[in-house]
Structure 1
């Protein structure tokens, strides 16, 4: 759920510099635990949007923000905006929008009647698919908390139960949901926690 707020914690504004002080008068929309995708150059990470206004937003990260030249935020709707970092305090990062945004439309996209799309990370991770006593090298792609796509040279059946093993993720038990060989879609038997997946994706990016 969202709630409107015109005030935020004093520690969020202390020592942020003139650029941030100018934004204090901007009404804020507090977005409670809203996952999003942060793109630093060509590396993708998970984050949580906390405060949102027409001038910027506050993010919670689960790891250090890597050195970068460009930052982009992708919301659950798939909409992307270029941003720049203004301040950082531990896991919280304050960013400003590079270009103007239509805040009411952006909020409306989050409040719509349809299920929100989970952030999906575009990766290409070597893994092994275990099924029927066979171990087949695959590539894990399009990763989210609930599922992924895989590139597999073998033939897999819809609803077939499989096990996926790789170095940077815990063992995944999944079911084949769709197929367009050699690409298949899998849904995980156990959903990843956001923080767990965010840390795993940071390790993938660092590999």
Structure 2
């Protein structure tokens, strides 16, 4: 049974080094995942890495501190969401407790009818698209390491090259992959490192002041 919360670094350090074999067998056991996911934090969404999971909680790697006093939920790549409670946070790690019973096998397997795709952070932010002499205002609705979904009244063609511009994001070379009315799917010509995208996502949602101490 996986029935214990992840230990904080301080708690793990405090475990006796000469524990008996019986004590070791009784110690919490976790399934290691190392899986990209996102944390819903109030109305914001932040990228994280799930490190391990038990039937009562998870530990995650963070790329910035979590804001305080917000409702939390973990969302996996298949869209499954699990309400959470923050138990501890230490630098770039955090332990969180599930607020209700979970099917741990489903969390581990993460079944989905969609092909595996990067985790997308969904939020609205003003951006602009530039292509040649055309500069259009647009609204970003989600973003990942590899692309973004935007809405713009300006018409762009499939496979047209554009520059996506926004504060904290800078200028990103992209190509129009699909179009549905005024909604466009962009694919970036250069992908982002996961940690870099996590920090960009936080900053674009107004959390640019969240930094770990240096």
Give the TM-score band, short-chain normalised: 0.7 to 0.9
1:106 equivalent in structure 2: 107
Q: Does 1:118 align with 2:118?
A: yes
Q: Does 1:42 align with 2:43?
A: yes
Distance 1:64 1:108 in 2: 28
Residues 12 and 103 of structure 1: CA distance in aligned 2, closer, same or farther (over 3 Å): farther
1:92 equivalent in structure 2: 93
Distance 2:100 2:204 in 1: 30
1:135 equivalent in structure 2: 135
Q: So what's the TM-score if we normalise by structure 1?
A: 0.85
| RMSD, aligned α-carbons | 2.5
Q: CA offset at residue 26 of structure 1?
A: 3.9
1:190 equivalent in structure 2: 190
2:31 equivalent in structure 1: 29
1:181 equivalent in structure 2: 181
Q: CA offset at residue 117 of structure 1?
A: 3.0
CA contact (8 A) 1:62 1:91 kept: yes
CA contact (8 A) 2:40 2:72 kept: yes
Q: Deviations over 1:76-115 (max 9, x none)?
A: 11100001011111110001101111111221226x8974
Q: CA offset at residue 42 of structure 1?
A: 0.9
2:11 equivalent in structure 1: 13
CA contact (8 A) 2:9 2:90 kept: no
Q: Deviations over 1:166-188 (max 9, x none)?
A: 11102111111111121111111
CA contact (8 A) 1:40 1:68 kept: no
2:145 equivalent in structure 1: 145
CA contact (8 A) 2:7 2:95 kept: no
Classify the secondary structure of the residue corresponding to 2:173.
strand
Distance 2:53 2:62 in 1: 15
1:19 equivalent in structure 2: none
